[in-house]
Amino acid sequence: MYWVFNRKFIFTLMLGVVMIFLPCCNNHTSQSKSADADKPLVEVEGNYLYRYQIEQVIPPNADKKDSVQLVNNFIRNWATNVLLYETAKQNISDLSEIDKLVEEYRKSLIIHEYQQKLIQQKFSKDISEEETKAFYEKFGNQLLVNEPYVKGLLLVVPANTPQLNEVRSWVQRPNIKSLENIEKYSLKNAISYDFFMNKWTPWSEVLKKIPLQVSNSADFLSNNSFVELSDSTQRYFLKIQEHLNHGDVKPYELAKDEINNILIHKREAEFIKQFEKDLYNNAVAKKKIIFYKK
């Protein structure tokens, strides 16, 4: 009965709060608060929900219908959590174990926050190219791509494009002269031109730009270096110069960022470990740690 009563109370109260609250939110902005923002609007079991808390959940320029829904959901969730917490406290006789866990968690949070500040203030994240390359030479064969990558170019032109044979020939054999011709041609005629000869690009990103369905990427990439497709309005010329299959070893240029992150995390761990060691030794030297004889 207690729970049913409070649920009815909440639903009735929500409607009243929404009717009172919404008119003052028509001109709501993130920079302003109503004059009575600290005024409580809802009370449940001695816990208060204030106007400013509700104001924060309503986005700028939200319409009335959306605002009503947001306010209703917020009040209901807040009140339900209060009721659950108060009910749980009444039905758990021994909270000492929970208090211990809360205190341990609090200590862990404080220590973690302090460690992060130490890292920000005193730890350098600069990794030299020599370190990165040395790591790659030693462990690079363990760094694998998790999807196919390609190098090449993609030229998209109108279906009735001029110089079709020349364009096809340029894309099929992209030497310096052909690339110059493609560049000039694309300025006047191309719908889009993506050049990624010098950058490994996820194959999935290329597939998003062409009307092609591929069931087995490894087989397709191994057997196709040039692809020409067309639809009712566009023609697509794709040159695949190089490719990597899922599970291949990452080239250095793809592995570099991952290696830097690995080295940074390793250094952070060593930095914190050394800090803890120094902290302990200094405390012992200054007799802040007292050892009693057994």
Q: 198-252, pLDDT tens digit by residue? A: 999 999 999 999 999 999 999 999 999 999 999 999 999 999 999 999 999 999 9
pLDDT in tens, 153-182: 999 999 988 999 999 999 999 999 999 999
Residue from 120, 42, 127 nearest 81 by CA: 42
Q: Looking at the predicted structure, is the pLDDT value of residue 2 above 50? A: no
pLDDT score of 55: 83
Check residues 42 and 27 and name the one with the higher pLDDT. Answer: 42
Q: Looking at the predicted structure, is the pLDDT value of residue 134 above 60? A: yes
Check residues 65 and 259 and name the one with the higher pLDDT. Answer: 259
pLDDT score of 30: 43
pLDDT in tens, 23-37: 544 444 444 455 566
pLDDT score of 270: 94
pLDDT score of 21: 54
Structure tokens at 144: 């694998």
Q: Looking at the predicted structure, is the pLDDT value of residue 143 above 50? A: yes
pLDDT in tens, 51-81: 888 888 888 887 888 888 888 999 999 999 9
Q: How far apart are CA 203 and CA 217, in angstroms?
A: 8
Q: How far apart are CA 247 and CA 189, in angstroms?
A: 39
Kindly state the average pLDDT of the residues 272-278. Answer: 95
Q: How far apart are CA 188 and CA 283, in angstroms?
A: 73
pLDDT score of 103: 95
- Residue 5: pLDDT band with limits 50, 70, 90: very low
Helical residues (DSSP H) of the chain, grouped into ranges? 2-21, 51-55, 64-91, 96-122, 129-139, 164-172, 176-189, 203-207, 217-223, 252-285
The pTM of this model reads: 0.66
pLDDT in tens, 89-125: 889 888 888 999 999 999 999 999 999 999 999 888 8
Structure tokens at 24: 């003052």
Per the listing, tokens 């092609």 go with 212
